[in-house]
Structure 1
C-alpha cells in the first residue's frame, strides 16, 4: 500500500527556502557580481573566438558551419560557467555570499546542456523532452528541494511481493528507457548507413546485419533500462516462459516467417534486385523484411509474400547465379510447308530484337512431327529478365506470324474426321426427315 507522506511538511520547506534564501538584501551584491561575470564572459568569448576557431579547424571532421555553431552557441555559456565555478571556490574559501550565484550557476548549466543537445541532435520530441527534464532538475536544485522531491516520489509506492514499485522508479524507468530507445534508434541508423555503404558485403549480408544490429540495440536498451533502475531480471523468468508458450501457439507463424527470413538472408537464395517467380507472381525483389519479401511486378503491384513460402514452396529465381535467361517459343506449321524455309523465317524473327543476345546464339530446332503439325522450338537468350520475359516472347511470335503470312506458311489447327458405323433406327428416321424438310424448303426457294 502507499506509504505515509506529509504534504504540509513539503510545502513548509518550499516557503522556508523563499523567505530565508531568496529575499535577502545581500543577494543584490551577488546579482551585480553575476552581471560583471556575464560581461567578462562576453568579452572573453570575443577575444578567444579566432584562436579557438583556428584550433578547431585542425579537426578535419568538423566543417566550417559546425565550427561556427559550436563557438556561437557554446563559448559564452562555457566561459560563464568557468567564472561562476571560480567565484564558488572563492566564496567557499573566504566565506562570501553564494546563494544567488549558485542559482544562476544551475540555470547557466542547464542552458549549456540544452545548447549541447541542440547542437548535436535535431529539435524533435526527444529534444523537447530532454530540455524540459533538464530545466525541471535545474529548478528543483535552485529551490533546494531536489532531494526532497526525490524522497517524495519514492514515498509514493506499493509493494508486490519482493518487488517495490514507486513513482520514482516508474519515472526513472520512463526517462532512461526513452533516452536509451532513442539513442538505440540513432546508433542503429548510423550502423545501418555504414553497412549499406560497404562495398565488400553482398545485399543479403547487408540486410541480415542490419536486422541483427537493430534487434541487439533495442534489446540491449530494454535490458540496460531494467538493470539500471534496480529491477532483478530473474523476476521476468515467468514472463519468458509465458512468451515461449505464446510462440508455440499463437505466434508460430510469425516465428516461422522470422526464422525463414534469417535462412533466406544467410543462404543468399533471395536478395534485393533478384527477378523471381513464386505462386504465380513474377517480379523483382524490392525489400527483404523479417516477416515478408516485397515483390514488385511489371504492372506496379507490390506483393508481400511471407518468408516461409520461399522455404517451403518452389521458387524460380531468374537471376540467382546470373541474369542470363533462355526463352523458348514453340511454333507448329502444316505438313506441306518447306521446313528449311520455315526454320529460316523463324530465325529472321529474332534478328532485329535488341534484347536478344547474339552470344549465346539463338537456335531453331525441329522437335517432333505432331498429329496436326510439324513442331519447331525457337530458343534465344536475354540478360535483363527484370524487363519481362513474356513480352519479348510475344514480340518474337508476332514477327514469326508476320513472316509466315508474307510467305504463305500455314499454321494449322487440329482437325478430326468422325465416321459413324451404325445408328439407331429412330435416329436414322430423324435424319431422313430433317434432310427431306431441308430439300423441300430449298425447292420452294
Structure 2
C-alpha cells in the first residue's frame, strides 16, 4: 500500500512539472507546439520525471527497508514504456500529414504498444509468439510463418515512417529558407522525400530477407505499368517538376485556366490547387498546365488593369466628366503610376458611354469592394457637379391624319 502511494505521489509531482513546462514554453508561443523537438520534449516531461522520481524512491526503499519494491519496479517499467510510446507517436505525428488518418494511426500504435506491454507483464508474450510461429505456410521453396511476416511488416513500417519523418523535417527547414525561390524550395523538398522513400525501400527489403535482385523484375513490371496504365500519373509527376524548375507558375500567381480564374495556393507532384474568389478550389493536373494555354496574370507583375463603365446624358461637359472620373479613382488600392484615365467609348442611343480604366496593386483582395467604392465616389462627384446619368426613355407621338368635318 505504501509503495502504491509513493508511486502515485511521484506521478502527481511529474504531472505538475509537465503543466509548468507547458505554461512556460507554449502558453505565450503556441506555434512551438507544432515543432518536433519542443513537442517531444513536452510529451516526455511527465514519464521521464515520474520515472526518475520512482527510481529514486525505489532505491531509497531498498536501501532503508532492505525489501524489493515490486510495485515501484512495475511502475518504473510502465513509465519507461510510456516514454517509448510517446516518442514513437511523436515521430508518427510528424511523419504523417495532419488529419484523421494521422490521429487514428497514432491511437492504433499506442493501443498496440500497450497491449504488447500488458502481454509481457503477465507473461503472455511467449504464448503469442509460439502461436504465431505455428501458423506457417510455404511460398515456393521458402517456409514462412506469421511471426516472420509481422516482423517484416514492423521493420518496413518503422523504416518508412522514419524516412517520412526525416523528409518532413527537412522540408520544413527548406521552406524557411527565404533566400531561395519558393519553386526551388518545393523542388528540393519533393526530391528529398522521393530520395528518402527510395532509400527506405532499399534498406527495408534486405532487413526482411528480400534479395534486391528482385527489383530488376519489379522495375520491368513498373516500366510496363507506366507505359500503359500509369502514363497519366507519370506525365503529371514529370510535368510538376518541369513547372517548378522553369518557374512558369509559382505559389500566389493568378491564373486563368479554361475560363476559371484563381490563385495558386498549393503545388504538388500531381496537381496545382487553384483557389477562386468564391472560395472554391480546383485541382488542375500538371499535365493540363503543360499541354494547354495558361494565362498567368501575375507572371512578371501582379498588378492588373481593369475598367469601370459609366454613362452620362447628352449635353454633358465630357471634359469635366472625364476629370471627375480621374478624381474618383483616388483610392488606396488604385495605382497612380500609371495614372487612372477616363475614356469616351460610345455614343449610344440615349447616353454617352464612358469608361474609367485603372491599375489595381493588389488584385488578390478582389474587385467587388473596390468597384463599389469607386462607383459611390463617381455618384457623389456627379451629384455635386450636376452631371446626370441617363436612363432609357421613349417619346411616343400620335398623329391623326383624318380631316376634321
2:138 pairs with one of 143, 155, 158:
158
TM-score of the pair, normalised by structure 1: 0.59
1:210 pairs with one of 167, 189, 195:
189
Q: CA deviation at 1:167?
A: 3.1
Counterpart contact for 2:47–2:82, Cα < 8 Å: no
State the partner residue of 1:128: 111
Q: Secondary structure at the match of 2:49?
A: helix
In 2, the alpha carbon distance for the partners of 1:171 and 1:324 equals: 58
State the partner residue of 1:114: 81
Uncovered stretches (5+) of structure 2, i.e. residues with no partner: 15-36, 63-67, 90-105, 393-398
The structure-2 alpha-carbon separation of the partners of 1:256 and 1:246, relative to structure 1 and needing over 3 Å to count, comes to same
In 1, the alpha carbon distance for the partners of 2:370 and 2:246 equals: 31
Higher-Rg structure is 1
In 1, the alpha carbon distance for the partners of 2:324 and 2:270 equals: 50
The structure-2 alpha-carbon separation of the partners of 1:234 and 1:113, relative to structure 1 and needing over 3 Å to count, comes to farther
Counterpart contact for 2:350–2:390, Cα < 8 Å: no
The structure-2 alpha-carbon separation of the partners of 1:66 and 1:289, relative to structure 1 and needing over 3 Å to count, comes to same
TM-score of the pair, normalised by structure 2: 0.64
Q: Secondary structure at the match of 1:287?
A: strand
Q: Secondary structure at the match of 2:289?
A: helix
State the partner residue of 1:361: 339
RMSD of equivalent CA atoms: 5.1
In 2, the alpha carbon distance for the partners of 1:319 and 1:277 equals: 10
Counterpart contact for 1:70–1:119, Cα < 8 Å: no
State the partner residue of 2:363: 385
2:317 is the counterpart of 1:350: no
Counterpart contact for 1:318–1:385, Cα < 8 Å: no
Counterpart contact for 1:337–1:409, Cα < 8 Å: no
State the partner residue of 2:387: 407
In 2, the alpha carbon distance for the partners of 1:127 and 1:118 equals: 6
1:311-326 correspondence to structure 2 within 5 Å: 311-326=290-305
Counterpart contact for 1:327–1:389, Cα < 8 Å: no
Counterpart contact for 2:271–2:285, Cα < 8 Å: yes
State the partner residue of 1:229: 208
Q: Secondary structure at the match of 2:290?
A: helix
In 2, the alpha carbon distance for the partners of 1:154 and 1:220 equals: 33
Q: Secondary structure at the match of 1:290?
A: coil
2:233 is the counterpart of 1:266: no
Q: Secondary structure at the match of 1:233?
A: coil
1:323-344: CA deviations, max 9, x gaps? 3222245778899765533432
